[in-house]
Amino acid sequence: MNSTGLSRENDAETPSSGGHRTVAASLSVSGLSVHYRDFTAVGGIDLEIPEGEITALVGPSGCGKSSFLHSLNRLTDLIPGCRVAGSIRLSDGTEVTHPKTDVLSLRRRVGIVFQRPNPFPQSIRRNFEIPLKEHGWRKRDIPDRMETVLREVGLWNEISDRLHKSAIALSGGQQQRLCIARALALEPEVILFDEPCSALDPIASGVVEDLIHSLRGRLTVVIVTHNLAQARRIADRAAVFWVRDGIGTIVEHGPAERVFTAPSNPDAASYLSGARG
Amino acid sequence: MTPPTPRARPVAPVWLDRALAFAGATAALLSFGLFAWLVWDLARLGLPRISWTFLTGEIEDAGRSGGIGPLLVSTLLILVCCLALVIPLGTGCALWLSEFVRRGSLAARLVTGGVDLLASVPSIVFGLFGMVFFGQTLKMGFSILSGGLTLACMILPILVRTTLSALEALPADLRPASAGLGLTRTTSIVKLLLPAALPGIVVGITLGIGRALSETAALIFTSGYSIRWPSSFWDSGRALSVHIYDLTLNVPQSGAMASSTALVLLALILVVNSAAVALSEHWLRRRHQTS
Amino acid sequence: MLGLLALVAGGMVLLIVWYLFSNALPVIEAGRLAAFFTDSLWQPRSQRDPQFGVVSMLVASFLVTLLAVALALPVGLAGAVFHRFYAPPVLERWNRRMLELLIGVPSVVFGFWGLMVIVPLIVRLAPHTSGQSLLAASIVLGLMILPIIALTSQAALQAVPPAQLQAAAGLGMGRARTIWSVALPAAKGGIGAGVLLALARAIGETMAVVLVCGNIPQIPKSLFDGIRPVTSTIALEMGYATASHKALLFCAALILVLFTALLVGWLSFRKVESDPGTGGA
Ligand SMILES: Nc1ncnc2c1ncn2[C@@H]1O[C@H](COP(=O)(O)OP(=O)(O)OP(=O)(O)O)[C@@H](O)[C@H]1O
Ligand SMILES: [Mg+2]
């Protein structure tokens, strides 16, 4: 059994599998804005998110990082009164913001992990069965799929003997890795992380960070973090959010190396040097 | 290397969503429809008869004609007796629970447990109890007093619970503040806590009145069936709900009168319960504004 | 002083049980309690052959209660799901208002309406019966507890943590699967509590039932047979009961109280048990 990774070769696709993913996808965002009723939280975003790389989004609290992140897989649909304008294009041409786009399969392709671990308060096994069944995995394939991803996040040895026990009995760090495994189980092309470590202790946080780092090259990762050191350690690219005229926007982006060492925008520079934020 | 696992179908069954939506809408419509039907029937049968003379007149021909005047008075008197007992008893008990014993102490748990169990007692059993305790042991016989006191026992849990939650919702610094001012406990309760918790207590009383108005089974063996104008609390007197029961059970061809009575009763309860809802919403809003 | 009031309030239930018990005592002392369960008929006033079989009434009480819940639960729950997940929030709010008012409708009004409307409908369905039957009683009782079940279910669904629903959405789960696999399991406890509450209310209910149940003390063989639950028996017979007959009725009331107390006790026990769990990790 392969314990280190999912294969990404371009296998023969099952015709019925509806855009079955075999490679990571890139995202290209242009002219994006997110509105909550009359309030514009985020505006004027243009960003290329290359495939297989880790893109870190940083910036002070309330500048719209989560709003932007949630618009990438239309989780903004859940909030009454929230509207997204502009374009987000996946590399196969799918327009995320288009109203006719099938959001359910979009969200399978663009997975998300939240700040607070949110396993379903049911057995660990059910946590995989529910979403996998929803996306058409056959019942007999589910145990293998679950084992693969649990190994991948390093949980298999810790919990393989209590798969029938409640997921909320796990520690916070374990729960978060379970949530990552659950997202990975759906074979996403892009995975979004919204401050995945900020509810965890330093050790668990390190484990999760390594895990995210290990995804590099195999799928596209977008991560929001307040931990600049962490962003520096794992990111290939970085984007700095800042509130300008009351609207959150990206003031600086590019290769992480350059953004962190030689930012050209003064706000970004002061934020990154720890002066503000 | 694991090959990507094959998936049977692209995404979720839409039919389940459709089925759920359909079943849900049907159920919602059905329940709404049934209740609308009930109210419509009562209004159709009962509304034409309702007039000032109906509300004030005496019962005639065993209830086939005439009015409900004495019943309204009896109902009111029963409520008066009921509230006279339940308000001091309920608020007193709630005050003791919130101010004089620690939450979770054995005494508090026993009392709240007793009150909760009391809430579970079927109303007909209150009727039996009232009959033997108030009626026989305390020698009140079939009387408005006996009926009212029985209802008081029945709605006691409502009042205790709402008053208790009103007291517990008070700002935590109210008590140390009053102690800091050197107020005695009695002063602090009478001058500070009770006034502050009054809205909650009023809501509890209103809810209790609604419940008492709608009660029948607890009254048939306590306040009885007399249809004369009551002249004192010691007289037997028929409540509105008991009237509906008696007409339906014992008086043929009285459907229209029963409907009219039911309509009056429903209107009263509607007013009382809406008042409770409005009061508690008003009170909640004010709390949010001030805090 | 206040302690005394609290003692009275808390001890009231004991007083009630004590009074029921002391009035039921003649039966128990006379050793007739066994007859309560072994006699097959209920004819306590018969001179020649008095019989005290209460089993048919207990069975009737249980049957009508269970049927009422079986009718009200699917409707109430499906309605709650609809209002929570499909209907616009305005509708949900109005629906809740309506339910809150309906909970206050006197049960005697349900009974009266049932006799006027439901019973004739049943006669049309089964022409050779009186219509006053197990079915009629179940429908009327079901209608009465419907608002309770609907409201508690709605509250339970409302209390499902948003994080759970967000997790489901983040995994690309559709509405149906989210409801079925996430929301309903999470709301299970609250819905169950509502059902228990409704059960306790239903089994102790008198007025919604007595007018439409037919009042025949028998174990029903079909939905259209008349029945006579415990509460109806008490309501109808206490007016003229004397001596051991009266004691028997008190005995029946005692059984009723013990049963509802058991239900409610279990309910609060469940609450205590599940409270620490709801805090999550
Ligand atoms: N549901 C909502 N309704 C209205 N306004 C919202 C909503 N969610 C977020 N906002 C507003 O949008 C702005 C951006 O919020 P967002 O949560 O995206 O910021 P953030 O960068 O993720 O902050 P943090 O680092 O604290 O998580 C804030 O001003 C916030 O008040
Ligand atoms: Mg955020």
pLDDT band at C272 (very low <50, low <70, confident <90, very high): low
Question: How does strand B65-66 pair with strand A54-58?
Answer: unpaired
Chain A residue with the nearest C-alpha to that of B12: A134
Contacts (Cβ under 8 Å, ≥6 apart) of C222: C134
Q: State the smallest CA–CA distance between residue B5 and chain A in angstroms.
A: 7
Of A118, A133, A172, the CB nearest to C164: A118
pLDDT tens for each residue of A139-150: 888 999 999 999
> Ligand 1: distance of its center to the CA of A114 in Å?
14
Contacts with C102 from chain B: Cβ below 8 Å: 35
Partner C contacted by A134 (CB < 8 A): yes
Nearest CA to ligand 1 atom 7: A36
Mutate to test the pocket of ligand 1, among A32, A40, A65, A83 (most ligand atoms within 8 A of CB): A65
Partner C contacted by B43 (CB < 8 A): no
Q: Which of C95, C81, C87 is CA-nearest to residue C178?
A: C81
Question: Does ligand 1 have an atom closer than 6 angstroms to the CB of A250?
Answer: no
- Please list all protein residues whose beta carbon sits less than 5 angstroms from ligand 2, which is an ion: A 66
- Determine, for residues B214 and C260 on separate chains, whether the beta-carbon distance falls below 8 Å: no
Check pLDDT > 70 for residue C274. no
- Exposed e or buried b for every residue in A91-109, given b needs 16+ CB within 10 A? beebebbeeeeebbbbbbb
- Exposed e or buried b for every residue in C179-195, given b needs 16+ CB within 10 A? bbbbbbbbbebbbebbb
User: Rg of the Cα trace of chain A?
Assistant: 19
Read off φ and ψ for residue A39, nearest 5 degrees: -95, 125
Question: Does ligand 1 have an atom closer than 6 angstroms to the CB of A60?
Answer: no
Q: Which domains does chain B have, with CATH numbers?
A: 72-239 (1.10.3720.10)
Q: Per the structure block, which two tokens stand in for B11? A: 């995404």
Check pLDDT > 60 for residue C178. yes
pLDDT tens for each residue of B131-156: 999 988 888 889 999 999 999 999 99
Residues 79 through 108 of chain A touching chain C, CB cutoff 8 Å: 80, 103-108
Q: How many domains does chain C have?
A: 1
Q: Which of A141, A94, A88 is CA-nearest to residue B9?
A: A141
Check pLDDT > 90 for residue C82. yes
Chain A residue with the nearest C-alpha to that of B3: A7
CA distance A90 to A190: 10
pLDDT tens for each residue of A71-109: 999 999 989 899 999 999 998 888 999 988 888 889 999
Q: Give domain status of residue C4, yes or no.
A: no
Identity at B19, one-letter amino acid code: A
For chain C, what's the residue count?
Answer: 281
Q: Give domain status of residue C55, yes or no.
A: yes
Question: Residue A7's pLDDT is what?
Answer: 37
Q: State the smallest CA–CA distance between residue B241 and chain C in angstroms.
A: 7
Q: Give domain status of residue C193, yes or no.
A: yes
Half-sphere exposure of C69 (CA within 13 A, CB side): 19
Q: Give domain status of residue C109, yes or no.
A: yes
pLDDT tens for each residue of B19-47: 889 999 999 999 999 999 999 999 998 88
Range of the domain at C92: 23-43+51-274
Q: Give domain status of residue C179, yes or no.
A: yes
Task: With beta carbons less than 8 A apart as the criterion, state whether B70 and B56 touch.
Answer: no
Edge-first strand order for the sheet with A27-36 is: A82-90, A27-36, A39-49, A247-255, A237-244, A54-58, A220-224, A190-194, A110-113
- Determine, for residues C164 and A121 on separate chains, whether the beta-carbon distance falls below 8 Å: yes
Task: With beta carbons less than 8 A apart as the criterion, state whether B144 and B230 touch.
Answer: yes
Q: Give domain status of residue C128, yes or no.
A: yes
CATH number at residue C208: 1.10.3720.10
What's the predicted TM-score (pTM) here?
0.85
pLDDT band at B290 (very low <50, low <70, confident <90, very high): low
Read off φ and ψ for residue B8, nearest 5 degrees: -70, -50
What is the greatest pairwise CA distance in chain C? 75
Question: Does ligand 1 have an atom closer than 6 angstroms to the CB of A62?
Answer: yes
User: What value of ipTM does the predicted structure carry?
Assistant: 0.87
pLDDT band at B12 (very low <50, low <70, confident <90, very high): low
